[in-house]
């Protein structure tokens, strides 16, 4: 890469773009050159909010990809549009950051992996939770041997309500209610990508996945795929689970989505808890360690969910400057997608999905 700032186009200026834009706006190694959205007024409003006075506004993907003043595209479109947009961006010679999940099927994912690995420019699938500062701290403690060898991971995803949550436009929820566009449910498949990424990040690829996925009504009549329980088994007699529970009358502290996320990792010698994610239940320490009969709290860890976006983007900018690998690579992202799709398949068939053989078992 040259020493000039990386010129970025954000494709899709919906709610989540506010978090994706933060590091590009503040990092001297990048600048936002263009915004693309089928609603030009929304894109102009974002430009004004972000203080961008010299930015191109486009309504057509082909038009923004044709711009010579764009080096990198941040693709923030509905899931079913990811593959086609990424393929077009590669044909246009752009660096790519593609919102998770990478695609809606393994067939699409294989196509994208093959194209990206034959491409001569970097392609990243965006995943922020593994860059959340409490997750980074927990990962470092485990690497130091704080809990011995990890044996299990328990993840609790708990949507609720919050007087301080940000406003999510109805249009952002509408397409997530359509399986042909979203690829799966809003909590298990869409938001669940973060949770499967955490399980993969700490424990590696699972051998088996078994899921029960429920259905309940959320705010404004939207459908939530809760209450849900997904269990997984890893090589080496290690286990994990993801529990998703919608608590409509429980108040959370958050500036983003009204949802709390908690993680418990148990090892041969101790336990680590990660408290919070999108939001928080209470003023608990972000990371807690139990070892040798003693509790240690780590409170000097940033807890703003936006920091996970900042650090994910910063890592990519640094990788572009140094020639390092992005996180997630398309091949890594395929493993996370495979995890999520196995949960959907297990719930649909009522059988355990064996990812080693690709077969279902009773």
Strands 228-234 and 238-244: antiparallel
Alpha helices in 157-290 (DSSP H): 170-174, 179-182, 192-203
What one-character DSSP code corresponds to residue 5?
Answer: P
Alpha helices in the chain (DSSP H): 17-26, 40-49, 61-65, 82-91, 106-117, 133-143, 170-174, 179-182, 192-203, 306-322, 330-349
Cβ atoms of residues 248 and 133 within 8 Å: no
Residue 27, Cβ density class (10 Å: 0-12 exposed, 13-18 middle, ≥19 buried): middle
- Per-residue pLDDT, 361: 64
Measured between alpha carbons, how far is 126 from 272 in angstroms, rounded to an integer? 26
Cβ atoms of residues 72 and 97 within 8 Å: yes
- Per-residue pLDDT, 1: 52
**Per-residue model confidence as pLDDT tens digits over 263-273:** 999 999 999 99
Helix (H) or strand (E) holding 215: none
Helix 106-117 to helix 82-91 angle (10° resolution) is 10
Q: Which residue has the tokens 């090892």?
A: 267
Helix 17-26 to helix 306-322 angle (10° resolution) is 50
Cβ atoms of residues 256 and 279 within 8 Å: yes
> What is the full per-residue pLDDT of the chain (362 aa) written as tens digits?
557 999 999 999 999 999 999 999 999 999 999 999 999 999 999 999 999 999 999 999 999 999 999 999 999 999 999 999 999 999 999 999 999 999 999 999 999 999 999 999 999 999 999 999 999 999 999 999 999 999 999 999 999 999 999 988 888 888 899 989 999 999 999 999 999 999 999 999 999 999 999 999 998 899 999 999 999 999 999 999 999 999 999 999 899 999 999 999 999 999 999 999 998 887 889 999 999 999 999 999 999 999 999 999 999 999 999 999 999 999 999 999 999 999 999 999 999 999 998 767 65
Q: What predicted TM-score, i.e. pTM, was given to this entire model? A: 0.95
């Amino acid at each position: 890469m040259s020493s000039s700032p990386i010129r970025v186009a954000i494709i899709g200026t919906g709610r989540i773009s506010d978090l994706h834009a933060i590091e590009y706006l503040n990092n001297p190694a990048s600048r936002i050159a263009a915004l693309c959205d089928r609603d030009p007024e929304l894109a102009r409003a974002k430009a004004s909010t972000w203080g961008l006075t010299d930015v191109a506004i486009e309504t057509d993907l082909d038009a923004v990809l044709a711009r010579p003043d764009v080096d990198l595209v941040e693709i923030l479109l509905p899931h079913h549009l990811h593959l086609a947009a990424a393929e077009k961006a590669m044909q246009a010679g752009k660096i790519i950051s593609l919102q998770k999940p990478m695609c809606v099927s393994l067939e699409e994912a294989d196509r994208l992996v093959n194209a990206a690995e034959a491409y001569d420019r970097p392609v990243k699938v965006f995943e922020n939770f593994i860059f959340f500062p409490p997750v980074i701290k927990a990962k470092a403690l485990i690497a130091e041997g704080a809990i011995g060898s990890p044996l299990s991971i328990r993840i609790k995803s708990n949507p609720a309500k919050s007087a301080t949550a940000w406003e999510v436009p109805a249009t952002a929820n509408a397409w997530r209610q359509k399986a042909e566009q979203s690829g799966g449910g809003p909590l298990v498949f869409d938001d669940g990508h973060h949770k499967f990424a955490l399980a993969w990040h700490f424990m590696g690829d699972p051998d088996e996945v078994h899921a029960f996925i429920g259905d309940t009504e959320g705010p404004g009549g939207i459908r939530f795929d809760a209450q849900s329980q997904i269990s997984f088994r890893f090589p080496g007699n290690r286990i994990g689970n993801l529990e998703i529970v919608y608590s409509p009358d429980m108040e959370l502290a958050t500036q983003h989505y009204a949802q709390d996320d908690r993680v418990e990792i148990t090892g041969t010698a101790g336990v680590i808890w990660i408290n919070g994610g999108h939001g928080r239940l209470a003023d608990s320490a972000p990371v807690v360690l139990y070892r040798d009969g003693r509790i240690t709290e780590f409170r000097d860890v940033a807890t703003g969910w936006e920091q996970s976006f900042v650090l994910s983007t910063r890592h990519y900018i640094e990788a572009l400057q140094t020639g390092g690998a992005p996180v997630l690579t398309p091949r890594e992202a395929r493993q996370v997608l495979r995890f999520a799709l196995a949960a959907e398949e297990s719930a649909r068939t009522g059988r355990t999905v064996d990812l080693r053989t690709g077969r279902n078992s009773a």
